[in-house]
Chains A and B, each alone.
Chain A
Amino acid sequence: MATPASWMSSRAIALLALPAMLFLAVLFFYPLGTLIAYSFSGSGPAANYQKILANPVYLQILQRTFTISVATTLICALIGYPLARQIVAASPRGRAILLAIILVPFWTNLLVRSYGWMIILNPKGAINQALLALGVIDAPLALVYNTTGVLIGMVQIMLPYMIFPIVAVMSRIDARLVIAARSLGASPLASFIFVYLPMTLPGLMAGALLVFTISLGFFVIPAILGGPRDLMLAQLIEFNINNTLNWGFAGALSTVLLVATVGVYLVAQRWFGLGSIWGAIAR
Chain B
Amino acid sequence: MATFNSRRRFCGQILAAAAGVAAPTFSARAQSKKIVYATWGGTWEKAIRGAWFDPFTKKTGIEVVAIGGNTYGKFKAMVDSGRVEWDVVEVNPDFQWIGQKDNLLEKLDFQVIDTSKIMDGQHLITPYSVPQVLWSRVRFYNTNAFKGDNHPKSWADVWDVKRFPGKRTFASKANSGTLEVALIADGVPMDKLYPLDVDRALKSLAKIKGDIIWGDTNAQLEQFMKDGQAVTGLVPDGRALAAVDNGAPIVIDYSQSMMTWSTMVIPRGAPNRDGAMQFLKYAMTPEAQAAVALAYTYGPVTPDAYKMIPMDRAKILSGGPQQNGKYFLADEKWWGENLATANDKLNAWRMA
On A, residues with C-beta under 8 Å from B are 55, 57, 60-61, 115, 118-119, 122-124, 145, 223-224, 227-229, 231, 236, 239-247
State the CA gap A231–B102 with chains docked (Å).
28
Q: Is the CB of A244 within 8 A of B340?
A: yes
Q: Is the CB of B219 within 8 A of A115?
A: yes
Asked whether B115 is an interface residue with its Cβ less than 8 Å from the other chain, the reply is no
The one of B72, B102, B220, B348 in contact with A243, judged by C-beta atoms closer than 8 angstroms, is B72
The one of B101, B213, B339 in contact with A145, judged by C-beta atoms closer than 8 angstroms, is B213
Q: Is the CB of A122 within 8 A of B229?
A: yes
Q: Is the CB of B217 within 8 A of A231?
A: no
Inter-chain contact total with CB atoms closer than 8 Å: 63
Q: Is the CB of A244 within 8 A of B339?
A: yes
The one of A61, A223, A240, A245 in contact with B217, judged by C-beta atoms closer than 8 angstroms, is A223
The one of B73, B344, B347, B351 in contact with A242, judged by C-beta atoms closer than 8 angstroms, is B73
Q: Is the CB of A122 within 8 A of B227?
A: yes
Q: Is the CB of A57 within 8 A of B347?
A: yes
The one of A124, A224, A246 in contact with B340, judged by C-beta atoms closer than 8 angstroms, is A246
Asked whether B296 is an interface residue with its Cβ less than 8 Å from the other chain, the reply is no
**Residues of B with C-beta under 8 A to A236:** 347
* A239-B73 CB under 8 A given contacts A118-B220, A228-B214, A229-B351: no
* A57-B227 CB under 8 A given contacts A229-B351, A245-B76: no
**Residues of B with C-beta under 8 A to A241:** 72-73
Q: Is the CB of B351 within 8 A of A231?
A: yes
**Residues of A with C-beta under 8 A to B229:** 122-124
**Residues of B with C-beta under 8 A to A228:** 172, 214, 347, 350-351
**Residues of A with C-beta under 8 A to B176:** none
New contact pairs (17) apart from A244-B98, A245-B99, CB-CB < 8 Å:
A55-B344, A57-B344, A122-B227, A123-B229, A124-B227, A145-B214, A223-B217, A224-B216, A229-B350, A231-B351, A240-B340, A241-B73, A244-B340, A244-B343, A245-B76, A245-B101, A247-B76
Residue of B nearest to A51 (CB): B344
Range of interface residues on B (Cβ < 8 Å): 20 to 34
Q: Is the CB of B71 within 8 A of A242?
A: yes
Asked whether B228 is an interface residue with its Cβ less than 8 Å from the other chain, the reply is yes
**Residues of B with C-beta under 8 A to A227:** 214
Residue of B nearest to A249 (CB): B340
State the CA gap A227–B220 with chains docked (Å).
13
18 A-B pairs within 8 Å (CB atoms) are namely A57-B351, A115-B219, A118-B220, A122-B227, A122-B229, A145-B214, A224-B217, A228-B214, A228-B347, A229-B351, A231-B350, A236-B347, A239-B343, A242-B72, A243-B72, A243-B173, A243-B343, A245-B76
**Residues of A with C-beta under 8 A to B347:** 57, 61, 228, 231, 236
Asked whether B126 is an interface residue with its Cβ less than 8 Å from the other chain, the reply is no
**Residues of A with C-beta under 8 A to B73:** 241-242, 245
Q: Is the CB of A119 within 8 A of B223?
A: yes
**Residues of B with C-beta under 8 A to A246:** 340
State the CA gap A145–B221 with chains docked (Å).
13
Closest beta carbon of chain A to B222's beta carbon, Å: 11
State the CA gap A224–B221 with chains docked (Å).
11
State the CA gap A256–B347 with chains docked (Å).
19
**Residues of B with C-beta under 8 A to A247:** 76
Question: Which residues 308-352 of B have a CB within 8 angstroms of A?
Answer: 339-340, 343-344, 347-348, 350-351
State the CA gap A47–B241 with chains docked (Å).
45
State the CA gap A122–B223 with chains docked (Å).
10
